[in-house]
């Protein structure tokens, strides 16, 4: 299960990078519609990158907690 989640998270990061790279050339267009569309695409890419990195960090933290222990006493 964690392998699937880890690969989906990495896929989200990669998709965000690709979307940002595709939209970047349109940011320098003279048309307002192109600039607006590219800005929304870059924003979407940034959200995907942030979400993917956050879920990768959460998965890494959970795996570390399970390996080492949570550090809490069970009274």
Q: Is the Cβ–Cβ distance between 11 and 72 less than 8 Å?
A: no
Which pLDDT score, from 0 to 100, does residue 14 have? 97
Assign 70 a pLDDT band (cuts: 50, 70, 90). Answer: low
Which pLDDT score, from 0 to 100, does residue 72 have? 58
| Model pLDDT for residues 13-61, shown as the tens digit of each residue | 999 999 999 999 999 999 999 999 999 999 999 999 999 999 999 988 8
Assign 62 a pLDDT band (cuts: 50, 70, 90). Answer: confident
């Amino acid at each position: 299960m964690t392998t699937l989640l880890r690969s989906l998270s990495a896929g989200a990061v990669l998709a965000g990078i690709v979307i940002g790279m595709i939209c970047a050339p349109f940011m320098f267009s003279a048309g307002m519609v192109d600039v607006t569309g590219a800005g929304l695409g870059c924003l979407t890419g940034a959200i995907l990158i942030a979400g993917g990195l956050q879920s990768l960090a959460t998965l890494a933290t959970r795996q570390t907690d399970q390996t080492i222990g949570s550090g809490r006493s069970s009274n």
